[in-house]
Amino acid sequence: MSANTSSAKNLSVFRESFDGNLQDSLRSAVRAYYEACVQAGYKRTREISAASIERAKTLPTDRIKQIVVDLKLATGWLSQSWIAGGDRVLFEKRHLQKALDHYGLSIDPRMVESLDDETVVEIYTSDMIQIFRNLNLLDVTGYSIMDLSVFEWWVLWERSQFVAQQMHKLAESVLVNETPFVPFTLEGHVLKESFNAGMTEPFVPRNTFVHLQHLGFLRPNRPDAPRAFICTSKAKVLAEGFQETEKIAFL
């Protein structure tokens, strides 16, 4: 997983005046997204980490502005999708559809039908930039919202080289052949949080057992839509804390 980024067009359309401290704008956007997550019932969500604050200080101005724009977009999708006392699956499907509508992408109905209240949903562009993640991911990660926004996914997680290679091959095949819906045939595997984010409260890394479910090409509906694919999975936390997570090694 990586920082949630989107096209340059989004930046021009949603650009605001970043007068004052740019880092304050970022913190404010993270806070708003965090509050929207909590309102939607995802109370294990973490807001920031010491490492993410330091990382943000090193990022180019345009990158920070883009992250702010993307977080505001994501906050809007959450706010528009959430209904008090509503069904969690319906909420996540509405949340996903908001993102698809924004990017001009269509999804195979079988993919939507396969979603339940534990499904982790991610959308990546053809250059492996994550442009959407649903909130179920936040239930199984020790990383904060700001970690997920400013760090690349390969900094935060590691999995076995074999699994990574097989996932890349299948994703590439789905993009080339524009396959709308295909089940993963890989066995479940361990995903390890490998970066010490240094939380404002002590960081507790997690190892999760991930069962990949489906992969699918998202059909573009307009000329400026990105080439992208969707990936769904389920994850269960296996271990928490440095001592427990370090017991697992990859071949």
pLDDT at 164 over 80: yes
Radius of gyration for the alpha carbons in the chain, expressed in angstroms and rounded = 18
The whole-number average pLDDT for the span 157-177 is: 93
pLDDT mean across residues, the chain: 85
Digit-coded pLDDT (tens) for 34-76: 999 998 888 878 899 888 999 999 999 999 999 999 999 999 9
The whole-number average pLDDT for the span 4-20 is: 40
Residue 149 burial (10 A CB sphere; 0-12, 13-18, 19+): buried
> What is the CB neighbour count within 10 angstroms for residue 114?
15
What per-residue confidence (pLDDT) applies to 142?
A: 86
pLDDT band at 139 (very low <50, low <70, confident <90, very high): confident
Domain positions in the chain: 8-245
CATH code at 8-245: 3.30.450.20
pLDDT at 94 over 90: yes
pTM value? 0.83
Token pair 């994550």 is found at 130
CA neighbours within 13 Å on the CB side: how many for 31?
A: 6
Q: How far is CA 65 from CA 8, 18, 247, in A?
A: 11, 8, 39
